[in-house]
Amino acid sequence: MSFEAFKSRFMELTSDPVAIGYIAHDADNARVVYVNSAFSEELGYAAHDVVGKSVDAYHDSETWHDFISAVRPHFAAGDPSFTADAVLIRADGSRLWASASFVVVEEQESQGRYVCATFRDISAFKEAEAVAEKARALLAAAINAFPDPFAIYDKDHALLVWNPAYARSMTDAPDDLKPGIGLKALLLEAARSGRVPEAIGREEEWVEEYYTPDVLAPGVEDFEFRGDRHFRMVRSRTEKGENVVLRLDVSEVVRHRRAAEEYARQLEAANRAIMEKALRDDLTGLGNRRLLTQKLEEFVERKSGSDGEIAVLQIDLDRFKQINDTMGHAAGDHVLVETAKRILDLVEIDDVVSRIGGDEFIALLYVSAGSRRPERLAKSLIASLSRPAHFEGKECRFGASVGLARTPLSDPDELLVNSDLALYKAKRQGRGRLGIFDRADFEEARQNKTLADEIMRGLENAEFLPFYQPQVDAQTGEIVGLEALARWAHPDRGIVSPSGFLRIATDLNVAADIDRMIFERAICECSQFFRSHLAPPSLSFNVSAKRVVESDFDAIRRSVEAYPGQVCFELLETIFLEEESDAFLFHLDRLREFGIGLEIDDFGSGRASVVALQRIGPDRLKIDRRLVAPVSTSSKSHRLLRSIVDIGLALDIEIVAEGVETREQAEILAQLGCNRLQGFLFAAPMALSGVFELFSSSEGLVEARPTR
């Protein structure tokens, strides 16, 4: 075929760059004889730039030798066509990766060859290949450097890829590992080399068990390896079905976690110990009040989910104080410890026993509804604790009283108060008794509670007001004094006497508030009333010990100044016996400085000594009406009254007799030398309007009817 014909057939048909070279039979290199227009366009060489030159003019010099080595054998073999990759250089110096297809045609006349090269641009492919190759290299480096075992198996479980850590984890000869080795064989190898603790001694058997069809199923699993190492095995599958196995060494994590768990356990134990100690009574080892409160709460919780009931036994030792006082504290402690033992002997395992005060114990029981166990236990406790204890060869005789309260009669949060009430009831009946909080107590408690609410409301609404009971001169019958007595103007029940509210008010700690209200009101109305009167009577007030200690002295001084006559405070004889503190005496002195007289009320009911009387230095003694009542019938009380009057005379203290109901009593008392008389014979307590009538109607009260 002639060259011209060859050229016209092929050259311009293709859009790929084409170059034709001619190699003379004795030459090494081809000379360009033709390039098509696609060649000029792609590479930027005009035909005349390259035609006549060697083909290496547009080949990359760096890769030229590789190229030549690739094509030379084909020439040598006389191949008519072949392909080879080539890197071409464009006119602007840039490179073009090309796949070159060669067609070789012999030229008979000159014995040379025409070589037609068609170039296809494969730069994109080559670049991607280069990136992939680089990534592969990096990945391989990373996998190899990775400290944890990593491997890939094909879908038939033959080893494809692994890193040194993996090899080391499976065999003693990691370098001998070859691709294609089966997982089962490798597992056996690992087992035989002692790497699988659970397989030791039964390696083959273990492999048979372990090597199931889904041994490489994707998933995560933790396991122990060689005793001290812990691994997390992560398995996944590639798209082609290869199995990727990654074993992460989590020994450190596990060790830290275990250490943390151990630490938490120790902390908890220490906490428990501290809590335990904080809930215990040191002496007896029983619970303390805190434990009691806590357990009671737990019981209440438990009760809400079942039909059980809670019972509280309050145990109080009889004669404990005597043992302590006469035999010493060690003996007292011994009795307490012994008591704790005896209680523990009788209770059941779930009962809670606490010591809540010196010689007070509480047993908390959870029982089925209607159970009689609390009563039985109370009785056994009383019996058991009536036996004497022995301390250093001496006998300590004691005993116990028990108060019992239980749900549902008592509310859970009132159990302790009510068992205390029951205990009080038991003690009132004598020693070694059981008191049970019953329906009557419940009613009383309920009424007390209502009353307490009403008292508080009454205080807010200023429902407490003074009544007055006149005191007369024993000789002349003239009104010389008034005792202010508290009354409660109850909105429904009318006028209520102190017996109807004073005890509860004292329990509520508001007796002093009532005292204050009575005091202020009485001073206010009496100072207006008596301002015009010639001889205002003395005005006495009953005050509680609290009132003395908590007085607002400025207010008292101002009030006292407003009243034209003498103001006196009556204090119960028992107050003087109980309140001996310096503060109390100091406060009394201040009151005296304001000109307030002091009277000892209900004198003779307590056991105030002459010494105490001298120390207090009262202005008056009021003889208790229980001593006055029998004066006309009993010579003994007559003598007693005479000696009281004598003491008064000796110490320069006035004597008032109260509760005078008959003319006979009045005469005897006057004869004995009492200074003042007070009682229904003369007048009952009344509102100020009544006092007003008395003052305006007559000169004295000697004719007054005894009224109530």
Chain residues in the site for ligand C2E (CB under 6 A): 469, 485-486, 497-499, 502, 511, 515, 518, 542-544, 601-602, 625, 658-661, 679-680, 685
> Which among Ca ion, ligand C2E, none contacts residue 149 (Cβ within 5 to 8 A by kind)?
none
Residues 537-576 that bind Ca ion (CB under 5 A): 542, 570
Indicate the residue among 281 and 658 with the shorter CB distance to ligand C2E: 658
Indicate the residue among 243 and 469 with the shorter CB distance to ligand C2E: 469
> Which among Ca ion, ligand C2E, none contacts residue 64 (Cβ within 5 to 8 A by kind)?
none
CA-to-CA distance for 141 and 568, rounded, in angstroms? Answer: 107
Scanning 219-349, the segments in alpha helix (DSSP H) are: 251-278, 289-304, 320-327, 329-346
Scanning 462-510, the segments in alpha helix (DSSP H) are: 502-507
Indicate the residue among 108 and 499 with the shorter CB distance to ligand C2E: 499
For tokens 């008191």, the residue is: 435
Q: What is the layout of strands, in order, in the sheet containing 95-107?
A: 31-35, 18-23, 112-121, 95-107, 81-89
Give the Å distances, CA to CA, from 473 to 110, 272, 397, 459, 526. 174, 74, 55, 35, 20
- State the nearest-atom distance from the C-beta of 542 to Ca ion, in Å: 5
Indicate the residue among 68 and 687 with the shorter CB distance to ligand C2E: 687
> Which among ligand C2E, Ca ion, none contacts residue 352 (Cβ within 5 to 8 A by kind)?
none
**How many residues form the binding site for Ca ion (CB under 5 A)?**
4
Q: Does residue 470 have a cis bond before it (omega within 30 degrees)?
A: no
- State the nearest-atom distance from the C-beta of 354 to ligand C2E, in Å: 37
> Which among ligand C2E, Ca ion, none contacts residue 120 (Cβ within 5 to 8 A by kind)?
none
Q: Does 515 bind Ca ion (CB under 5 A)?
A: no
- State the nearest-atom distance from the C-beta of 353 to ligand C2E, in Å: 41
| DSSP letter assigned to residue 475 | T
Indicate the residue among 167 and 623 with the shorter CB distance to ligand C2E: 623
- State the nearest-atom distance from the C-beta of 467 to ligand C2E, in Å: 7
> Which among Ca ion, ligand C2E, none contacts residue 499 (Cβ within 5 to 8 A by kind)?
ligand C2E
- State the nearest-atom distance from the C-beta of 502 to Ca ion, in Å: 12
> Which among Ca ion, ligand C2E, none contacts residue 502 (Cβ within 5 to 8 A by kind)?
ligand C2E
- State the nearest-atom distance from the C-beta of 495 to ligand C2E, in Å: 10
- State the nearest-atom distance from the C-beta of 555 to Ca ion, in Å: 22
Residues 589-618 that bind Ca ion (CB under 5 A): 601-602
For tokens 């010196």, the residue is: 358
Tally of CB atoms within 10 A around 669:
25
Q: What is the layout of strands, in order, in the sheet containing 229-237?
A: 159-162, 150-153, 243-249, 229-237, 219-225
Indicate the residue among 136 and 626 with the shorter CB distance to Ca ion: 626
> Which among ligand C2E, Ca ion, none contacts residue 469 (Cβ within 5 to 8 A by kind)?
ligand C2E
Indicate the residue among 288 and 637 with the shorter CB distance to Ca ion: 637
Cβ atoms of residues 414 and 336 within 8 Å: no
Cβ atoms of residues 587 and 558 within 8 Å: no
Indicate the residue among 34 and 488 with the shorter CB distance to ligand C2E: 488
Indicate the residue among 281 and 602 with the shorter CB distance to Ca ion: 602
Indicate the residue among 130 and 577 with the shorter CB distance to ligand C2E: 577
CA-to-CA distance for 522 and 534, rounded, in angstroms? Answer: 19
Cβ atoms of residues 300 and 412 within 8 Å: yes
Burial of 708 (0-12, 13-18, 19+ CB in 10 A): exposed
Give the Å distances, CA to CA, from 219 to 150, 251, 671. 15, 19, 114
- State the nearest-atom distance from the C-beta of 608 to ligand C2E, in Å: 16
Q: How many CA atoms lie within 13 A of 523 on its CB side?
A: 21
- State the nearest-atom distance from the C-beta of 679 to ligand C2E, in Å: 3
What DSSP string describes 164-176? HHHHHHH-S-GGG
- State the nearest-atom distance from the C-beta of 541 to ligand C2E, in Å: 6
* Bridge partner list, 394: 391
Give helix 329-346 / helix 320-327 axis angle, nearest 10°: 140
> Which among ligand C2E, Ca ion, none contacts residue 685 (Cβ within 5 to 8 A by kind)?
ligand C2E
**Residue ranges in contact with Ca ion by CB under 5 A:** 542, 570, 601-602
